[in-house]
Each structure stands twice: as C-alpha cells, then as structure tokens.
Amino acid sequence: MYVTVVPYSHLWETAYKEEKQKLINFMNDILVEIYHIGSTAVKGLPAKPIIDIMPVVTNIALVDKYNSRQGDRYIV
C-alpha cells in the first residue's frame, strides 16, 4: 500500500469551508460544531490530500437518520 503525501496547499482550508457548509445545510438540526482535523488542518504541513472533518452532534444516535440522504462524499 502506498500513501501519497503532497506539499501543503492553501486550497485545503477552502475545501474544508465548502464541506463544512454542506454539512451545516445537511444536518444543521443536530450539529453542535464542526472541526477541520488531521494533517490538512495544519498550515504548512505536507499531508495526504484528504480533508478530514469531525462534526460534533447533540446525539450520535440521530446521525443514522441522515444515511439515506447522504451524498457520494459523505461517510456517516
């Protein structure tokens, strides 16, 4: 298995903000906060070009109701 690490990109912050807004629109009724986590969240750090996002919700059991509404890019 190979892992690709690329130089830091300022576009990662933009990509996070776009995905954050999608999550807000998608499941706002149970969201408490959304965090950009992982290596792409660290300015200047080379990383795997994958935006890791951690939503905090009011009740984890409520997340399942969104599974049928999820898009291709969401893993819930």
At 12-70, the pLDDT tens digits run 999 999 999 999 998 999 999 999 999 999 999 999 999 999 999 999 999 888 775 54
Note whether residue 75 is domain-resident: no
Q: How many C-beta atoms lie closer than 10 Å to residue 43's C-beta?
A: 9
In a domain, 44, yes or no: yes
Full domain range(s) for residue 31 = 11-69
Confidence of residue 7 (pLDDT cuts 50, 70, 90): very high
Residue 35 and residue 52: Cα distance in Å, rounded? 9
Q: Is residue 1 part of a domain?
A: no
Q: Could you give the number of structural domains in the chain?
A: 1
**CB-based contacts of 60, cutoff 8 Å, min separation 6:** none
Q: Is residue 17 part of a domain?
A: yes
